[in-house]
Amino acid sequence: MALVSIRGIRHLRRFQQIAQVLIRHGFGELVDLLGAAPVFPLARFRRRRPVLGPPQRLRMALEELGPTFVKLGQVLSTRPDLLPPEYIAELARLQDTVPPVPWDEIRPLLERELGKPLESVFATIDPVPLAAASLAQVHPAILRDGSRVVVKVQRPNVEAVIRVDLDILADVAQLLQTRTPLGELYDLPAMVEDFAATLRAELDFYREGHNADRFRANFADEPYLYIPRICWDCTTRRVLVMERIHGIKIDDIQALDAAGYDRYRIGLHAARMIIKEVLEDGFFHADPHPGNFVVMPGEVIGAMDFGMVGYLSRRTRTDLIRLYIAAVQMDEEAIVDQLVRMGAVGGTVDRRGLQHDLARFLRKYQGLPLKAIRAREVMEEAMPIAFRHHLRLPPELWLLGKTLAMMEGVGLKLVPDFDIFAVSRPYVQRFLREMVLPSTWAPSLLRDLDEWGHLFGLLPRVGAQLLTQAERGELEVTLRHRGLEQALARLDRLANRLSLSVLLAALIVGLALLIPAFHLAERGGVVTVLVVGGFFLASFLGLWLVISILRTGRR
């Protein structure tokens, strides 16, 4: 059974490498769960007692496995509904810095992508990169017209490696869907597919360039944010050439003070940027660590690296505002109702337990002024509740929470008593006004009326057909219970095991009674051999059954 499942996994050699790394970091049980033990017959003898905790070992294993798994860890660090808080905190520390690829390998790749010699495009290009990550590295350069740019070039063969890893992850997700309780709560193959789409988008530098253009268009009337321009004549899917901007790193407080910048204004601009992205545009920079933002003259914030972005539909933004209002009103029942409307609460959730946990969570902040509430603390308090009750909030909301926490960390360094809620209040009020305007709800109302009109038009014809079928006895109603087949199969296996246990016990007892009754030791011959041999065979089968039951219990 195990070998059959493993043979269904593509790229076995790479899978073996992944399994070896997992075993070395103390996750041999996961390899066993996937049925990979036959591929590594000596693996369990090489396992050592772990020194570090599971979250630390998981982070180290992902870093060792390469770019696909580093990105997977980063995505998982935004999903407290999937992992306990201690794993989330550890995965947030994942390092995406690797040694750069030598220039001798980068230069031919650049010329192949650009379709011409580098000298015809750049006046100069520095072979030493400014930064190197698992997907790409960045080189400073000057174009032939004198423009200073940075050249982001994809690492050689990284796409092929990621394609293989994504195939393996898809196969593993299919196995885990049927072999673990997670498969009953989440659609793991769909999650892997979403992750694959996100990672493929990050590998497409055309897409990153268009993200930058979209941010520039959104903030065209906001002078406090500067988005560098893209050199589209020199940009391909694997090479991005972008205007180079200079400034002071946004969290370098000493340098900002030395330059005479107003830190409060910088914090105000950063807060307005993220609030506008979330409430007005529904399109936000999802990797706002301090290295991606610099402060330019006039307290203007310069943004970089637009590979990771988040999207919020108007409906999601409306749901977010409603959750915010219910939380401010300390109404845990309204929060649960809103979570149900959002599809975040499963049918088997303990609603009373969820309300109790939310009430305890809200009481901690009751009476506190908004400026005393920290987004990071709120996220850390909410994570155990989400994990305990398996809340399935949209992934973009968890990504938004992480983004807000990172921006809040930057803001607190700039202005320790900065009140982001005071800055956001006008935007929230404007959004609430827009929610009740006819221009917001009229289109959806007209669409619903059209659907209802279509339904009422179908009712006479469909109703007549159903009544005719019922009258002729041709109407059949089929009910299907999800998971019933698996439950019946388990019950059948239990019944078979119970029957086998009873038969073996009867056989062992019966043969044991035959031995003294027939004086087999005196008779000898074939009868003795058959009875004694049957007794030992039945005893062996009974021992095997006991061992099988114990192993099943451990799993």
Q: Where are the alpha helices (DSSP H) in 223-279?
A: 253-258, 263-275
CA-based torsion, 223, 226, 227, 231: positive or negative: positive
The span from the CA of 516 to the CA of 461, in Å, is 82
Beta-carbon contacts of residue 10 (< 8 Å; ≥ 6 apart) = 164, 167, 168, 171
CA-based torsion, 392, 394, 399, 401: positive or negative: negative
Residue with tokens 């998971």: 483
Quote the DSSP letter at residue 119.
G
What is the CATH architecture of 103-158+201-268? Answer: 2-Layer Sandwich (3.30)
Q: Residue 18: helix, strand or coil by DSSP?
A: helix
pLDDT tens digits for range 70-93:
989 988 887 877 788 888 889 888
Is the Cβ–Cβ distance between 120 and 143 less than 8 Å?
no
What tens-digit pLDDT sequence spans the chain (555 residues)?
344 455 556 787 888 888 888 888 888 777 776 665 555 544 444 455 567 888 999 999 999 998 999 989 988 887 877 788 888 889 888 877 788 999 999 999 999 999 999 999 999 999 999 989 889 999 999 999 999 999 999 999 999 999 999 999 998 888 888 777 777 777 888 889 988 998 998 899 999 999 999 999 999 999 999 999 999 999 999 999 999 999 999 989 999 999 999 998 998 888 889 888 988 899 999 887 788 899 999 999 999 999 889 898 888 888 888 888 888 788 888 888 888 888 888 767 788 899 999 999 888 887 777 667 777 788 778 888 888 888 887 778 877 877 877 777 787 788 887 777 777 777 777 776 766 656 555 566 566 566 666 666 666 776 777 777 777 776 676 666 655 666 666 776 777 667 677 776 777 676 666 666 555 555 556 666 666 677 677 777 777 766 766 665 544
Q: What is the pLDDT of residue 429?
A: 73
Phi, psi (rounded to 5 degrees) for 345: -110, 125
Question: What amino acid positions are annotated as catalytic residues?
Answer: 287
Strands 300-303 and 239-243: unpaired
CA dihedral angle for residue 173, residue 179, residue 183, residue 187, rounded to 10 degrees:
20
The span from the CA of 169 to the CA of 177, in Å, is 12
The span from the CA of 167 to the CA of 100, in Å, is 26
